[in-house]
Homo-oligomer: A and B are copies of this chain.
Amino acid sequence: MKTVSRVLNAEPHVREELRAKVLKAAKDLSYRPKTSARSLAGAKSFVVAHLFSKLSPYLVMAQLGALGACRAAGYHLLVETIDLEAGDPSAELASLLLGLGVDGVLLLPPVCDDERVLDALDGAGAAYVRISPARDLPRSPFVEVEDETAARSMTQHLIGLGHRCIGFVTGPDGHAASGRRLSGFRGAVQAAGLVLEEELIQPGDFTFHSGQAAAQTLLGARQPPTAIFASNDEMAQGVIAKAHELGLRLPDALSVAGFDDTPYAAMAWPPLTTMRQPIAEMAAAATEMIIAGAGRSPRPQIPARRFECELVVRGSTAPPQ
């Protein structure tokens, strides 16, 4: 019995001949080890959980990446929501962690920066990997993306098109990406020797509505920008909608750029120029980190991984008219 276990878990110390025999028998019987028995007896549960508060296209792409990594390793992906607004998120977490004993939890913003969630996870001794965390970097393995460089590239693209007055819509405070994308924008504008009036930078929170509101303000100014760079695609969509509402012809009267390259960016009109963030790969990498550490104690130290973005030029950006 133990020999079969060794073969099926790819453990050493089994003669090649015997291994083949076991494998053949397993195949003939179409035998599948029962996950519940494996996790009851052993240290691994073969389940990774993706914990989120709200599902955006960005998180959906991450989920798909995580799913792929799970599949490749014979793992399963569990999805769980948590209400950050509600009283105590740790109570909700308890049933997840203590009950199921998942091997690890995948966290993205904003959940990955909620102190209470992190404390609850640490308290339960649960492993977790974060994507683009804003704080306490040493607290867990994580994966991040070159936000600042990417934002700089996008800004340079707009400047290269001839724009001299560019508006920017920020992400919410507390999101690591928000500050970095703004820095990248600022850096590129200043490097080009352009004046950056502070009213060209409008606050947003990654929602469509906030993109509309920011556009309203920017386009209503005495000297409106000829291009607007929104920190994510959904806000860029809001900018586009507002511009249409104001009767502007895009992209001639206004260039609009986004960030993330969600599937809906290409469905906007005009199709949105944006920075492609390899979120599926990032989530897959994070999931692999979880799986690599599953059942191991002490948990292995895993170095952070950093990914790059790619400029995707579509029809929403053009030289100013």
State the A residues within 8 Å of B (CB): 30, 32-37, 39-40, 45, 47, 55, 60, 63-64, 67, 71, 74, 76-81, 94-96, 98-101, 208, 234, 237-238, 240-241, 244-245, 264, 266-271
Contacts and interface: CB of A to CB of B under 8 A. Distances in A.
26 contacts: A30-B98, A32-B94, A32-B98, A34-B99, A35-B99, A35-B100, A35-B101, A36-B36, A36-B40, A37-B40, A55-B60, A55-B64, A60-B60, A63-B79, A67-B80, A67-B81, A76-B80, A76-B96, A77-B80, A78-B78, A237-B267, A238-B267, A241-B269, A245-B269, A264-B267, A269-B269
Given A60-B55, A238-B267, A71 B67 contact: no
Nearest to A47: B78
Contacts of A80: 67, 76-77
Contacts of A271: 241
Contacts of A101: 34-36
Contact of A71 (B76, B81, B268, B270): B81
Contacts of A99: 32-35
B77 A78 contact: yes
From A32, A33, A77, A80, residue with most partner B Cβ within 10 Å: A32
Contacts of A100: 35-36, 76
Contacts of A30: 94, 98
A34 B95 CA distance: 10
Contacts of A35: 36, 99-101
Contacts of A63: 55, 79
Contacts of A79: 63, 67, 77-79
Nearest to A66: B79
Contacts of A264: 264, 267
Contacts of A266: 208
A35 to B, nearest CB: 5
A30 B37 CA distance: 24
Given A30-B94, A36-B37, A36-B45, 7 more contacts: A34-B40, A55-B64, A77-B78, A77-B80, A234-B267, A241-B271, A244-B270
